């Protein structure tokens, strides 16, 4: 396999001397422990990370608190905006290293990681624009003329960002951007399998002029560093992205000091293709709505409802499309899909494939770990099950791998009922040329985002969030920024 030799790795990887990023510099874990992080395309150890626990989280939270009460609190909104513009330019100029790190650490094709650049820059620009929107209102009252009433906004304080491994380079910005726009400070806990771009970004932010302690990173396991951050009495808000089960743990831990929460959790999103759809767009659109990032996407459209009259043709075309995808070395520019993040995740996905088989779904493509020159990596073939029923395990549980379940339907009413028969509600899509069908689905699908004749597009100005067990709180849009602010009512007696 055509991987770079060690000498081609960024120095950030080869120097192997990073620890936690606290108070503007590197710190070893208090207990002196380290852990390996792997390159999932080879299975080899990429580098080691500090393995933090409650003592490290204490140090990072203290640093974030000092910065919040100290230098950072004196930044005006205009200065925060100027800083975010500087950060934007800095990331713009140094992006190639970040893209390579992300690809090595989590296996995303390098071309895809490079493609994220514009999304990240747009995200930073959006949050820069929001620094001016941290505003209260003057509100007329019923108290009488001598009273003036108004509302003020103030940053909530120290924010803990706990994020998963499926795209930390981009997903960290939903926390960092809102925090920097509002004047909060941050302790990030990236996933143990993909921490490098979060560490490097924190270092970049300081190089771009962010005061020390505003953004800190503690690496470590979820049950150690993550749990300590979620329960920490001096953390005011947690922004969490990950599984619904861990989301429940976060809710419990937040009870210690009634933390503000934003939770973006699992999904089992419906993607509905009607017989009148433009299949030239629907086939690749629906396929990549799952296969992108090898299926490790929270809003992947894994339950693919197809109108029965086109099922045969659709499945044939889908299988052809799946076969045409090039799975392999993430650093090869022709690669479409990389590996899964870890051995554990690969085994989990392969387990679901055998459960699908056992429960009677028709496996029409893939289903295996890949062999040959990628045999050491955690590669799973693009996989399609046909004739799945919405009650089967593979249609109910989040798989987080390149596995599509095709479920036939006869009427729009049936499709909608099945689409909503899930505990999740993150995304959903409809492919049709009929405006009335579009309207019914757009209003009827119980999910935070519905795409029509497209899939997976997210814009920072609009944002996204979930219904039901996909979580609460909104990422992006003005309401995201507002959730990082306290509101205070002021009543002035001018007598």
Chosen from ligand NAI, Mg ion, none, partner binding at 469 (C-beta under 5 to 8 Å by type): none
Smallest gap from Cβ 196 to Mg ion, in A, equals 7
Token pair for 200: 């490097």
Burial call 247-263: b when 16+ CB within 10 Å, e when fewer: bebbbebbeeeebbbbb
Q: Within 197-226, which residues bind ligand NAI (CB under 6 A)?
A: 222-223, 226
Partners of residue 429 on adjacent β-strands: 271, 451
Binding mask 292-321 for ligand NAI (x = CB under 6 A): ------x-----------------------
Smallest gap from Cβ 224 to ligand NAI, in A, equals 9
Among 122-130, 259-267, 324-332, 370-378, the segment contacting ligand NAI (CB under 6 A):
259-267
Q: Which of 224, 298, 307, 381 is catalytic?
A: 298
Distance linking the first and last C-alpha atoms of the chain: 80
**Residue closer to ligand NAI, measured from CB, 65 or 189:** 189
Separation of alpha carbons 215 and 64, rounded Å: 7
Q: Name the 3-class secondary structure at 184.
A: coil
Q: Looking at 227, 337, 350, 353, which residue binds ligand NAI (CB under 6 A)?
A: 227
Binding mask 163-202 for Mg ion (x = CB under 5 A): ------------------------------x---------
Q: Which of 264, 307, 381, 398 is catalytic?
A: 264
Token pair for 254: 């937040």
| 264 included as an active-site residue | yes
Q: Within 134-193, which residues bind ligand NAI (CB under 6 A)?
A: 162-164, 166, 189, 191-192
Burial call 343-358: b when 16+ CB within 10 Å, e when fewer: eebbeebbebbeebee
**Residue closer to ligand NAI, measured from CB, 100 or 298:** 298
Separation of alpha carbons 482 and 270, rounded Å: 30
| 307 included as an active-site residue | no
Yes or no: say if 231 and 409 are a contact pair by the CB < 8 Å rule: no
Smallest gap from Cβ 46 to Mg ion, in A, equals 6
Tell me the residue ranges of DSSP E strands in 358-402.
Answer: 362-365, 383-386
Yes or no: say if 340 and 380 are a contact pair by the CB < 8 Å rule: yes
By CB under 6 A, name the binding residues for ligand NAI: 162-164, 166, 189, 191-192, 222-223, 226-227, 230, 241-243, 246, 249-250, 265-267, 298, 345, 348, 398, 400
């Amino acid at each position: 396999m055509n991987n770079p030799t060690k000498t081609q790795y960024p120095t950030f990887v080869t120097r192997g001397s990073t620890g936690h990023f606290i108070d503007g510099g590197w710190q070893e874990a208090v207990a002196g422990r380290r852990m390996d992080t792997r390159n999932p395309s080879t299975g080899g150890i990429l580098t080691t990370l500090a393995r933090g626990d409650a003592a490290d989280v204490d140090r990072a939270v203290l640093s974030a608190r000092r910065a919040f009460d100290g230098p950072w609190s004196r930044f005006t909104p205009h200065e925060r905006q100027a800083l975010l513009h500087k950060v934007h330019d800095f990331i713009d100029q140094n992006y190639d290293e970040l893209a390579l790190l992300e690809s090595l650490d989590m296996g995303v094709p390098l071309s895809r990681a490079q493609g994220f650049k514009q999304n990240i820059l747009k995200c930073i620009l959006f949050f820069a624009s929001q620094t001016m929107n941290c505003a209260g209102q003057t509100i007329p009252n019923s108290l009488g003329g001598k009273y003036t009433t108004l509302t003020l906004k103030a940053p909530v304080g120290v924010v803990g960002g706990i994020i998963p491994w499926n795209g930390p380079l981009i997903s960290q910005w939903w926390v960092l951007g809102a925090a920097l726009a509002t004047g909060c400070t941050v302790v990030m806990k990236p996933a143990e399998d993909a921490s490098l771009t979060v560490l490097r970004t924190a270092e970049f932010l300081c190089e771009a002029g962010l005061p020390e302690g505003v953004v800190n990173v503690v690496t470590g396991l979820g049950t150690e560093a993550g749990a300590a951050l979620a329960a920490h009495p001096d953390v005011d808000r947690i922004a969490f992205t990950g599984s619904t089960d861990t989301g429940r743990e976060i809710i419990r831990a937040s009870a210690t000091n009634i933390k503000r929460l934003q939770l973006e959790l699992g999904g089992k999103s419906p993607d509905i293709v009607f017989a009148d759809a433009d299949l030239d767009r629907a086939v690749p659109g629906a396929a990549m709505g799952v296969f992108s990032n090898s299926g490790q996407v929270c809003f992947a459209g894994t339950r693919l409802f197809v109108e029965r009259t086109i099922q045969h043709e659709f499945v044939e075309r889908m299988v052809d499309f799946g076969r045409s995808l090039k799975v392999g070395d993430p650093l090869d520019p022709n690669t479409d899909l990389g590996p899964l993040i870890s051995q554990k995740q690969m085994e989990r996905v392969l387990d679901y494939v055998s459960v699908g088989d056992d429960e009677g779904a028709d496996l029409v493509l893939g289903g295996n770990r890949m062999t040959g020159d990628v045999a050491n990596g955690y590669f799973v073939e693009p996989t399609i099950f046909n004739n799945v029923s919405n009650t089967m395990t593979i249609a109910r549980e989040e798989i987080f791998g390149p596995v599509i379940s095709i479920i036939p339907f006869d009427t729009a009413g049936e499709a909608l009922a099945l689409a909503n028969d899930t505990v999740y509600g993150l995304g959903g899509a409809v492919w049709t040329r009929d405006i009335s069908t579009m309207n019914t689905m757009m209003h009827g699908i119980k999910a935070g985002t519905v795409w029509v004749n497209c899939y997976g597009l997210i814009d920072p100005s609009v944002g996204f969030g979930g219904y039901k067990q996909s979580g609460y709180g909104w990422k992006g849009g003005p309401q995201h920024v507002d959730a990082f602010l306290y509101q205070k009512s002021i009543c002035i007696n001018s007598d």
